[in-house]
Amino acid sequence: MWEYTDKVKDHFLHPRNVGEVENADGVGEVGSMACGDALRLTFKLDTDKRIKDARFKTFGCASAIASSSALTEIIKGRTLEEAEKITNKDIAEYLGGLPEAKMHCSVMGREALEEAIAYYRGTKREKKMLEGKIVCECFGVTEKEIRDAIKVNHLTTVEDVTNYTKAGGGCGKCQDDIKALIKQVFLEASEEAQKEHKHSPFDELTNIQKINRITEFLTNRIRPTLQRDGGDLELIDLDNNIVFIKLRGACAGCIGAASTMKDFIQKKINEELSERLRVREISE
């Protein structure tokens, strides 16, 4: 059984802004009844071009209803430029977190918002043409949708991608393609980091020396902090400046794991070892 936060339960049992805005400026429809999740988002702008009203209709689980309800609350009062910066992580965090297997509901909300904004701007057709080829035929998930989910949420496994997009959760034929996309996105991120950041003494080390230095750093600077709260981690591999880590103990499956990786481990490694390094969590 899924463990939901009180805020998720509240937005599920008492959803805000259910329905449809009349003469809507923006209309976004994503998902399908066949896939088990569908969302229609509509919004109306005021004279200052801020979202004054937003409503939703959804077919889905408790997480889908709660995510849609939260989204309408988040975007009210924002300009379109402000609204389009909202990520699925913002929706999940607004709700106090979602189970990993239900994160695709927050992604669906973000996609509906993108569709509604594109509708208002008259670029919906062009946007759809840029989505790329469909990777998962079972759920109609495109390459762009998968790549975006990997980038925004730092996904490292096929299971992660399935949780966030549903891709790979049907017949499974696309799982090799998903693995290839994960590797490609990570390599691109690593190459981009190498272009942007300055060299440090760490960057001149051999790969074995880098692994030893990272192991020493994690042991002395990171693990003690995690262990105080019952957590731990393990260095799994270093590949093209991507540090693959597995969280252990209380950290494994923790709702704040993503924040731990990005705001603590990633930050410390960049500050004390090299700005080129990127940390990725693996779950298998």
Q: Quote the pLDDT of residue 44.
A: 96
| Per-residue model confidence (pLDDT) at position 67 | 95
Q: What distance separates the 2 farthest-apart alpha carbons in the chain?
A: 63
Q: Per-residue DSSP letters for 54-69?
A: EEEEEES-HHHHHHHH
Cα(15)–Cα(9) distance, integer angstroms: 9
Angle at 118 between CA 28 and CA 53, to 5 degrees: 55
The residues, any chain, with a CB within 8 Å of residue 206's CB and separated by 6 or more, are none
The pLDDT of residue 197 is: 59
Q: What is the pLDDT of residue 284?
A: 56
pLDDT value of position 220:
92
Known catalytic membership, residue 105? yes
pLDDT of residue 123: 79
pLDDT, position 209: 92
Q: Which is catalytic among the residues 105, 136, 174, 251? A: 105
How many whole angstroms from its chain centre is CA 116? 20
What is the pLDDT at residue 155?
86
pLDDT in the model for residue 195: 63
* All domains in the chain, ordered by first residue: 6-128 (3.90.1010.10), 131-196 (1.10.10.1100), 201-281 (3.30.300.130)
Mark whether 254 is an active-site residue: no
- Identify the pLDDT of residue 57: 94
Q: Single out the catalytic residue among 35, 136, 174, 251.
A: 35
Question: How far is the CA of 180 from the CAs of 140, 146, 157, 185, 215, in angstroms?
Answer: 18, 11, 10, 9, 27
**What sign does the CA torsion over 137, 69, 262, 115 have?**
positive
The proportion of the chain whose per-residue pLDDT surpasses 70, expressed as a percent, equals 91
Give me the pLDDT at residue 196, please: 61
**For residue 203, what pLDDT is reported?**
82
The pLDDT score that the predictor gives to residue 34 is 60
pLDDT of residue 71: 96
Residue 124: predicted pLDDT: 65
From start to end of the chain, where are the E strands?
A: 26-32, 37-45, 51-59, 134-136, 141-142, 231-239, 242-249, 278-281
Phi, psi (rounded to 5 degrees) for 150? -65, -45
Q: What's the pLDDT at 138?
A: 74
In the chain, which residues have pLDDT < 50? 125, 129
